[in-house]
Amino acid sequence: MTKQMFAVMASGLALMAATPALAQQGGSTVTAATTQGPILSFSVSEEVRSRPDQATVGAGVTTTAPTAVEAMRQNAAAMDKLIAAAKARGIKTEDIQTSGINLSPQYDYNNQTPGQPPRFLGYQVSNSVRATTPKIEDIGPLLDALVAAGGTNIEGPWFGMKDADAQLVGARGTAIKEAEAKAADYARLAGFRGVELVSISEGGSFASPPPPMPPMVRLQAMDAKATPVEPGQVSNTLTLSFQYRLVR
């Protein structure tokens, strides 16, 4: 065996000796985290409630005609009026988004003769958009304007925060302090001297986005009084997952 080959083997043995925290047992890996002390894992959640700074409403129209082409044409004309009404209330073009278009044949199943197909009525088109605005106080008048423009399918409003993560900055510090105290308490109760932080991971939930809009949510025409809307508060939750090593 040459001196060069012996030197390479010796360096390899030295590297293995320098890393005793990693060993193979029955195909599994045991790391320093488990050989030096047990690992404590838990999560801490902090909820932040605040007044919303934006709201989204859904609106649409439904039209029926003898042919699919005519039903789509009538619906397009009605939707143009609806979108124009939203823009007239200050909604920007980039804050208006189509959320669903549905075209389907309609049949009359009443008094159907056995063995005969139902009576064909025509084609129905439902088209809806969602509009988002930071003007919370304008939601009621906006809904009224959409109905006055011909909107028959109204949904919402959904309230939320434009920058929900910014609301959680202070909550992170609170969660970490709570985790430190909890980990120290576990260590004391288990007879350990203290703890060492191994890892932190973040999760959470923000104010829910709007769900898919049902195709047939009807709202009758309103009187002269503006529709009252109360935004209340929205909840944003921060969840931090911690791992601590218990130290003797």
Least confident piece of the model among 6-20, 30-44, 120-134, 210-224 = 6-20
Residues 118, 122, 126: CA angle, nearest 5 degrees = 120
Q: What is the pLDDT of residue 7?
A: 35
Q: From CA 232, how far away is CA 53, in angstroms rounded?
A: 11
Whether the per-residue pLDDT at 1 is higher than 80: the answer is: no
Give the pLDDT score at 123.
97
Q: Report yes or no: 198 and 64 within 8 Å, Cβ to Cβ.
A: no
- How far, in Å, CA of 113 to CA of 27, rounded? 72
Find which of 25-34, 126-135, 160-169, 226-235 is predicted with most confidence, using mean pLDDT.
Answer: 126-135
Instruction: Look at residue 112 in the predicted model and tell me its pLDDT.
Output: 79
Pick 30 or 236 by higher pLDDT: 236
Task: Read off the pLDDT band of 80 (50, 70, 90).
Answer: very high
Q: Does domain 54-162 have CATH number 3.40.50.300?
A: no
The pLDDT score that the predictor gives to residue 165 is: 87
The distance of Cα 193 from the centroid of its chain, to the nearest Å, equals 42
Q: Minimum mean pLDDT among 70-84, 151-165, 172-186, 216-230: which range?
A: 216-230
Q: Residue ranges of the domains in the chain? A: 54-162
* pLDDT tens-digit map of 21-54: 333 333 423 344 445 889 999 999 999 999 999 9
Q: 92-143 pLDDT, tens per residue?
A: 999 999 999 999 999 998 877 788 889 899 999 999 999 999 999 999 999 9
Question: Looking at residue 110, what is its pLDDT?
Answer: 87
- The chain-wide mean pLDDT, for the chain, equals 82
Both tokens of 11, joined, read: 């360096």
Residue reference for tokens 């925290």: 21
**Alpha helices for 26-151 (secondary structure H):** 32-35, 68-88, 139-148
Q: What pLDDT, on the 0 to 100 scale, is given for residue 64?
A: 96
What is the band of 206 on the pLDDT scale with cuts at 50, 70, 90? Answer: low
